[in-house]
Structure 1
Amino acid sequence: MLSRTVNVPSPSAIALALALTLPALLVGCQRPQEAGADASKSAAKPALLIAPEDLTQVGTSGLVGGPVLTGSVQAARRADLRAEVAAMVLQVAKDNGETVRQGEVIVRLDSTAIRDNLTSAEEALRAASQSLEQTERVLQRQKTLNQQGMTSMQALEDAELRRNAAQSEVAAARARVVSARQQMTRTEVRAPFDGVVSERKVSVGDTVQIGREIVKVIDPRSMRFEGQVSADRLGELKLGQAVSLRVNGFGDSEFAAKLSRIDAAANATTRQVEVAAQFADAAKAPQVAGLYAEGRVDSASQAALVLPEGAVTRQGDATSVWRIEGDTLRKVAVQLGARDDRRGQVVVLGGLKAGDWVLRAPSSTQAEGQKVTRVGAGAGAASAVASAR
């Protein structure tokens, strides 16, 4: 008969084995439940509130790659009126922004002292004229007496000298009168042309000296762009080229213009060249001088789909946008082309079509397939969420 030896595990070994296997069994049982909970949580992702200002539409635009111009809107016809006499300001007839007609008085200066000078000059002219008449009569008598042999040639010559001196005195007196009358007219500062007062620099009671600036007048109908361009791009410029301008204060509106002047010398410090461009439609041009403006010369343009650069999400070399498809948010990969620094736009080469709506400023909270809810303007933002109902 054969005998068999059976090894029975000790109680401590059995307890150790149970301690090692039981947690694994528990984990295996819990994983399906946790996976189901995660799926339920993803399905319950809150809807994204979308207001009109949170979206931007893919559109076609002319992306201009020509030289950039920076400057301001200025009136080609403008005048800086300065004091031509030293006097006190008595009246300011026009204020900033008011229209003026050619020859209309804008500022009136005190003319008391100048009027006295004019009166004195007129009296001096009257006296000189009387003296001239008297010397003329004396000269005629001397000529008659000389012909009769009753006076000497020396007396005749002396009479002629006195007559000539009187003529000189009359001429000088007339010049003083003309000068005084001119000074009188200079006490009234008049508009040199039809326009608008752009800057008034004096008030009633001010004392102005000769050469002090009093008022500026511009003609709003002569507005144009005056700016600078880098000398490195000078070779791309030609008179008559189309220019697309954006003016501060007019939003995204663009103004068409044509290059009308290119200076012959560059600034020695900045290496910028002064240029000017005339608005294509003067009636629609900005009517305020001094507004900052920026533009591009249409020397290399192309029509393409464009999108604001802020709508693009970047992960390494990959670029994508969040497109709205019905009531669902989708992440779409896009291929980008050239960038327009002035407009802050990029060319879309692929992934989107004209008319697509995308998030203007996406964040990290969006999720693929997330539902969206449209709200009114100002009622939401791209990052606002509401609980799904």
Structure 2
Amino acid sequence: MPPLSRLSLIALASLAVLTACSRPDAKAGGDAKKDAKAVAEAGAVSLIVAPEDVQTLGESQYASGPVITGSIQPERRADLRAELQAVVLAVYKENGESVKRGDLLVRLDDTAIRDSVQSADEAVRASGQSFEQAERQYQRLKTLQAQGMSSIQAMEDAEVRRNNAQSDLVAAKARQATARQQQQRTEIRAPFDGVVSDRKVSPGDSAQLGKELIKVMDPASMRFEGLVSADRMAELKLGQVVYFKVNGYPQVDFQGKIRRIAQAANTNTRQVEVLVDFSGAQQPGVAGLYAEGRVQATSVSALMVADNALVREGDRSYVWRIDGAKLHKVEVKLGARDERQGLYVVAGGLKSGDRLLRHPNITLQDGQAVTFTKALPPPAAPSAPKPSTMTSSAQGCEPLLRSRAA
């Protein structure tokens, strides 16, 4: 047989072998998909849930009323300012330090004022001597006039000199008091017990008249200074309970009562200021924190869901509901939030009696089986995947191809 014909037969035989191997591969691919599905189904473990991990949805009392926003501010606070122009010599307290009433906080330079005090003291001393001398002269002339040894005119002249000396003494004492008062103003002292909230100056600064030097506040006098929309002003009453949250205290639900309602709304924001006193001993010790809550004007019944049972995905909210022995992901519409209980009003998607997971995680699957138990067993070890049929088919074809090629 010629060499060309022999090569043609070998090529035809190889083509036949490849065609026969391709058909088992296609069948092996289908078997591989079935095996992967079986492995996935075998790995889907039933979710074991303890009774305390389930929330049964039901109606509860919901505090409905106007929303109030504002900040926490102390009722007793003092902005201590310079009452004269001088240089700051020393600052004795830092921010956050406790102070007692009368404690020295800031000292200003009193060099010029000391000279004024000394001059005023000397003027008082001289005026006092002049008045004493005029008083003695008047009393002597008054005695002589009574004995007929002096004229009435001399006695009256002595009385006038005595009165003028007395006026000079009073004026000198007034100047002395003013000078001493100016000297006292160089010492900035705490007006009440509290803490330093803001130190504005340092030694060497020039304190102009009216310059803010230091702030003192009483942390025990905190209150909630809030704002309420004027549209809902008719719902406000003195003594109403307010539930609110304060930034920096996420785990604490504060409660207070309305003490005062402003009689004029802000012309720009159209909001009414409301002062709320804290109820109980628990209150934040830091001023200026943002606070938001709700006035309990009325109480209504509604379906409520806890925040930790919600799953957020963008603007949507979901819960994991247990239907029989299956777990389903359900979209829920939320209403207002009750700050007192930390619950959301359910506006749609759920009904009374639905059972929800309290703390869902990202590994849950829609339609997953649920088993209730009081004790959680250890997690099962993952099953090993079965060997692929396509791999064994390909290995069966390789010896045949090698033998043909040989």
Per the TM superposition, whether the score is higher than 0.5 is yes
1:291 counterpart = 2:289: yes
On the 8 A contact 2:321/2:330 being kept in 1, the answer is no
User: Structure 1 residues 227 and 132, CA, compared in 2 at 3 Å: closer, same or farther?
Assistant: same
Q: Among the aligned pairs, what percent are the same residue?
A: 49
Aligned mates of 1:203, 1:329 — CA distance in 2: 69
Pair 214,354 (structure 1): closer, same or farther in 2 beyond 3 Å = farther
Contact map agreement 2:127 2:168 (CA 8 A) in 1: yes
**Amino acid of the structure 2 residue aligned with 1:356:** L
**Structure 1 range deviating more: 331-340 or 196-205:** 331-340
Residue 307 of structure 1: how far off its partner (Å)? 3.7
Matched-pair contact (CA < 8 Å) for 2:304–2:344: no
Q: TM-score, normalised by structure 2?
A: 0.70
Cα distance 1:168–1:110, how it changes in 2: closer, same or farther (>3 A)? same
Whose helix fraction is larger, Structure 1's or Structure 2's? 2
Question: Does residue 356 of the first structure (1) align with residue 357 of the second (2)?
Answer: yes
Separation in 1, partners of 2:249, 2:177: 51
CA deviations over 1:17-46 (Å, ceiling 9, x no partner): xxxxxxxxxxxx999869846844752778
The match for 2:375 is none
Q: In structure 1, what is the equivalent of residue 172 of structure 2?
A: 173
Q: How far 1:229 sits from its partner (Å)?
A: 0.3
Q: How does 1:94-109 map to 2 (within 5 A)?
A: 94-109=93-108
Q: Which residue of 2 aligns with 1:204?
A: 203
TM-superposed deviation, 1:357: 2.9
Q: Which residue of 2 aligns with 1:119?
A: 118
1:321 aligns with 2:307: no
Q: Which residue of 2 aligns with 1:73?
A: 72
SS class of match (2:78): strand
1:189 to partner: Cα distance: 1.2
Q: Which residue identity is paired with 1:300?
A: T
Q: Deviations over 1:195-223 (max 9, x none)?
A: 11111111111121222111111111111
**Deviation (angstroms), 1:79:** 1.2
CA distance in 1, matches of 2:213, 2:105: 10
Number of equivalences: 338
Three-state SS of the structure 2 residue aligned to 1:264 is: coil
Q: Counterparts of 1:227 and 1:285 in 2: how far apart (Å)?
A: 16
Aligned residue in 2 for 1:237: 236
After alignment, is 205-214 or 265-274 more displaced? Answer: 205-214
Amino acid at match of 1:112: T
Deviation at 1:160, TM superposition (A): 2.7
Structure 1 stretch displaced more, 182-191 or 59-68 = 59-68
CA displacement at 1:295 relative to structure 2:
1.0
Deviations 1:237-263 (A, max 9, x none): 111111111000111421111111111
Q: In structure 1, what is the Cα distance between the partners aligned to 2:127 and 2:314?
A: 93
Instruction: Confirm or deny: 8 A CA contact 1:241 1:259 kept in the other structure.
Output: yes
Paired residue secondary structure (2:367): coil
Question: Equivalent residue for 2:394?
Answer: none
Q: Match of 1:350, SS?
A: coil
Name 1:52's counterpart in structure 2.
none
Residue identity matched to 2:227: Q
1:118 deviates by 0.8
CA shift at 1:271, angstroms?
A: 0.9
Distance 1:368 1:172, change over 3 A: same
TM normalised by structure 1 equals 0.73
SS at match of 1:274: strand
- TM-aligned CA deviation for residue 47 of structure 1: 8.1
Of 169-178 and 103-112, the range deviating more from structure 2: 103-112
1:330 corresponds to: 327
In 2, distance between residues paired with 1:176 and 1:56? 81
